């Protein structure tokens, strides 16, 4: 009965707090904890019992004041958006060290008044945070990982903490403290979440650590300078909110936030009003012995005036560092040595990055040195670049010729020199790109990706868009994504090379058609196929088509899907490509989002302007018209002859190969109609050539 009562009280604390936090829960930790407790109710009791012991101080092993916590920072960005600088990352580490050791500039703002006597109870934790210098494999590191994950950097959750769901795996929590930096965090409609943490109780999990928005991390770059990072790390080390449980008069070391020197607060508050006193109750054993005002300066509050931890909070943290196995391993001096912290930084690796090294010819790339440590000299070599070399720390390089190029960086600290070369790092696409009419049936290219016709983007480092001979609409090949049973919500993209639309008249209509074959794995799948276009060689993208759920396919089968006939292919026409996109660096891409579904195939991509279906080779002749055009099956060719003569009518594909002889014979003077059956032809653009005597006329015909 006692256990059930304690469990019920503890659960009610978090349910109550969660309801309050709906107002503006910039910290998502309570919501995250509630979800954990819902799936593992025993966690609540385990937390309560650990906090009871921790708050008493009996778990502290000696009077150690020199803890070092090795840190690894995982940066997840979207083609450079959110890819914060090393300087900003270091500013976050500096913030932690100042706040946890009470060397922060605003420490003097802690109140010491009759109704707020807090200065004497403000504590330095004696904890130093340091970026790791040795990674789990024993290699040198700067403690920073980066990954371009595209859309996965937004609305992020625990998926950001795992490589196979579009994030970065945690380094072993026994040796490293993990921080994930993203563009935004999933809130389930509760408002803006700046960060959330996992408590260390019940042994922690593979998700242990802090996830935080880049604009809430550190003091420079994109950061606002708030204390979200210190707040969330406090949770990771075992501290609750100062408003946990609201007002109460029970024992202060066994209720609320389990701290007697942090007066209870009724609910999450976001003010710095010095007279603010939201609770009339005085907890049993309260440090101050009277109804002190709210301690809004505490880092575990929601106030914008945070500047302190308390002595009782320090007791809980030190107790947890002594008694929770993985935390005691984390701060063990022997393990610190394995992570390289507490040691002088030495130059050990040359490393560089460009946010998205794919450009069109004539463009420029900005390179960033990420080498470590103590670099004083840089020597870059850029194959195909201009200039071909540089001694700048972060150079900007122009590329004028299409190709695939390597980059070399050599760095020195004045004593040692190290270098690295990355082959095929820069991809420069043609500008102008492929011209119109454009047709791609995947029969003549040899691979996908080929870094000319197509590139790919893969968020989960798993299956990618590739070339397959399993199926094709008009031939034997198509683009293929092996997707059966993939259920991590990540995106895969098939991205074109550059196309030249600069010659299309701004008054003309551009038509884009393609075919896809897809079937669900089960009826509940809601997978998405999106179509985007770019006018600036892929620097920015505009969505033009969404197809998902039953609109993508209403059929389902559990086994891996391969289309067996042309009837299984869907035709899509994109007509909202406007004149602002008629550039020499036009690109398009298909984006697929998985949901435990099935395989998908794309084939017979065509781009043409409306005027191309009726451009004669010889403007003097007006012998022929074709309708309907575009056509899906039969089309009519209408001819006018002025005399009896031999007429040859032939059809050619986009490669110049003759695919049909429609007529080869005598026609009398007058108007004639020929029926041309195109059902057996692949989707694409064809030329119908009419030869009558010495007169020739050609009309483009689009087969949809």
Structure confidence at residue 62 (pLDDT): 80
**357 has which bridge partners?**
none
Neighbouring residues of 422: CB distance < 8 A, sequence distance ≥ 6: 352, 406, 407
Q: What span, in angstroms and rounded, lies between the C-alpha atoms of 41 and 6?
A: 12
638 vs 406: CA distance, rounded Å: 56
**pLDDT reported for residue 621:** 36
- CB of 440 within 8 A of CB of 495? no
Residue 16 has a pLDDT of 42
Which residues are bridge partners to 199 per DSSP?
A: none
- Maximum separation of any 2 CA atoms in the chain, in Å: 117
CA-wise closest residue to 428 among 367, 385, 390:
385
Closest CA to 535 of 580, 477, 490, 480: 580
The neighbour count for residue 237, using CB atoms within 10 Å, is 23
Tell me how far CA of residue 268 lies from CA of 25, 33, 155, 176, 302, in angstroms: 9, 16, 23, 31, 6
**Contact present, 572 and 516 (Cβ < 8 Å):** yes
pLDDT at 24: 45
**DSSP sequence for 386-431:** ESSEE-SSS-EEEE-S-EEEEEEEEEE-SS-EEEEEEEEEEEEE-S
Rounded Cα–Cα distance for residues 470 and 467 (Å): 9
Q: Mean pLDDT in each 10-residue stretch from start to end of the chain (704 residues)? A: 42 41 67 91 93 94 89 94 95 98 97 97 97 94 92 92 91 97 87 93 87 97 94 97 95 96 94 94 95 97 96 97 96 94 92 91 94 95 97 97 96 96 94 88 91 89 93 92 91 95 90 93 95 94 94 94 93 90 96 96 90 46 64 79 78 80 82 83 82 71 79
CB 242, CB 250: distance < 8 Å? no
Which of helix, strand or coil describes residue 53?
A: helix
Instruction: Please list the active-site residues.
Output: 232
Q: How many CA atoms lie within 13 A of 605 on its CB side?
A: 22
Cα 271 to the center of its chain, rounded Å:
34
The DSSP letter of residue 127 is: E
Strand, coil or helix: 608 = strand
Of 379, 458, 368, the residue nearest 412 (C-alpha): 379
Tokens 């030495």, located at residue: 346
Are 70 and 130 in contact, with CB atoms under 8 Å apart?
yes
Q: How far is CA 208 from the centre of its chain?
A: 20
As a whole number of angstroms, the distance between CA 522 and CA 559 comes to 10
> Which one, of 582, 614, 618, 598, lies nearest residue 685 by Cα?
614
Token digits for 325? 């196995």
- Which residues, other chains included, contact 601 with Cβ-Cβ below 8 Å and sequence gap of 6+? 468, 470, 471, 472, 478, 479, 480, 481, 516, 517, 518, 563
Q: What are phi and psi of 128, to 5 degrees?
A: -115, 135
Q: What is d(CA 493, CA 463) in angstroms, rounded to the nearest whole number?
A: 11
Task: Check residue 22 and give its pLDDT.
Answer: 36
The reported pLDDT for the residue numbered 685 is 80
Q: Which residues contact 416 (CB under 8 A, 6 or more apart)?
A: 346, 347
């Amino acid at each position: 009965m006692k256990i059930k009562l304690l469990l019920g009280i503890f659960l009610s604390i978090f349910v109550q707090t969660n309801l309050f936090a709906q107002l503006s829960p910039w910290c998502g930790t309570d919501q995250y904890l509630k979800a954990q407790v819902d799936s593992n109710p025993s966690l609540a009791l385990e937390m309560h019992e650990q906090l009871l012991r921790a708050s008493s101080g009996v778990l502290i092993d000696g009077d150690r004041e020199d803890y070092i916590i090795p840190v690894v920072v995982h940066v997840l960005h979207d083609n450079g958006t959110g890819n914060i600088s090393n300087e900003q990352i270091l500013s976050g580490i500096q913030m932690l060290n100042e706040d946890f050791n009470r060397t922060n500039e605003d420490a003097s703002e802690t109140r010491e008044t009759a109704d707020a006597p807090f200065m004497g109870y403000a504590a330095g934790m004696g904890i130093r945070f340091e970026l790791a210098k040795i990674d789990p494999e024993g290699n040198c590191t700067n403690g920073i990982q980066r990954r371009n994950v595209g859309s996965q950097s937004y609305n992020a959750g625990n998926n950001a903490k795992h490589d196979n769901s579009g994030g970065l795996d945690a380094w072993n929590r026994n040796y490293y403290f993990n921080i994930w930096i993203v563009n935004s965090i999933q809130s389930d409609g509760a408002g803006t979440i700046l960060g959330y943490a996992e408590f260390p109780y019940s042994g922690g999990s593979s998700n242990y650590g802090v996830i935080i928005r880049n604009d809430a991390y550190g003091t420079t770059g994109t950061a606002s300078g708030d204390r979200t990072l210190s707040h969330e790390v406090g949770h990771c080390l075992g501290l609750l909110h100062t408003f946990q449980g609201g007002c109460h008069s029970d024992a202060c070391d066994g209720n609320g936030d389990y701290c007697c020197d942090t007066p209870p607060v009724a609910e999450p508050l976001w003010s710095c009003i010095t007279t603010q006193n939201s609770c009339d109750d005085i907890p049993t054993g309260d440090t101050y012995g009277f109804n002190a005002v709210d301690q809004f300066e505490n880092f575990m509050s929601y106030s914008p005036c945070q500047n302190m931890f308390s002595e009782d909070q320090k007791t809980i943290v030190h107790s947890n560092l002594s008694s929770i196995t993985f935390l005691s391993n984390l701060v063990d001096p022997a393990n610190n040595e394995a992570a390289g912290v507490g040691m002088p930084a030495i130059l050990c690796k040359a490393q560089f990055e460009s946010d998205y090294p794919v450009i069109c010819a004539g463009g420029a790339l900005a390179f960033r040195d990420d080498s470590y440590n103590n670099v004083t000299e840089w020597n870059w070599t850029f194959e195909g670049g201009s200039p071909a070399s540089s001694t700048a720390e972060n150079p900007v390089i122009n590329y004028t010729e299409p190709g695939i190029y390597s980059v070399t960086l050599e760095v020195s600290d004045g004593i040692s020199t190290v270098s690295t070369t990355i082959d095929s790092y820069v991809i420069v696409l043609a500008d102008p790109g492929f011209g119109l009419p454009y047709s791609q049936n995947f029969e003549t290219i040899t691979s996908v990706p080929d870094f000319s016709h197509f590139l790919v983007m893969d968020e989960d480092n798993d299956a990618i868009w590739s070339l397959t001979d399993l199926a094709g609409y008009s031939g034997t090949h198509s683009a293929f994504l092996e997707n059966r049973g993939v259920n991590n919500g990540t995106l895969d993209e098939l991205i074109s090379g550059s196309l030249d639309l600069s010659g299309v008249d701004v008054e003309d209509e551009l038509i884009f058609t393609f075919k896809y074959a897809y079937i669900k794995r089960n009826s509940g799948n809601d997978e998405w196929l999106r179509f985007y276009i770019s006018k600036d060689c892929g620097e920015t993208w505009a969505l033009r088509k969404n197809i998902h759920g039953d609109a993508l396919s209403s059929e389902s089968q559990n086994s891996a899907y391969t289309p067996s006939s042309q009837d299984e292919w869907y035709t899509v026409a994109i007509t909202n490509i406007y004149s602002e996109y008629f550039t020499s660096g036009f690109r398009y891409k298909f984006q697929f989002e998985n949901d435990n579904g099935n395989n998908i195939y794309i084939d017979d991509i065509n781009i043409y302007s409306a005027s191309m279906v009726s451009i004669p080779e010889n403007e003097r002749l007006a012998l022929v018209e074709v309708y309907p055009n575009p056509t899906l099956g039969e089309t009519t060719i209408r001819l006018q002859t002025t005399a009896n003569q031999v007429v040859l009518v032939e059809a050619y594909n986009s490669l110049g190969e003759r695919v049909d002889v429609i007529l080869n014979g005598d026609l009398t003077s007058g108007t004639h109609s020929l029926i041309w059956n195109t059902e057996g032809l692949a989707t694409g653009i064809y030329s119908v050539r009419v030869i009558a005597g010495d007169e020739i006329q050609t009309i483009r015909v689009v087969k949809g």
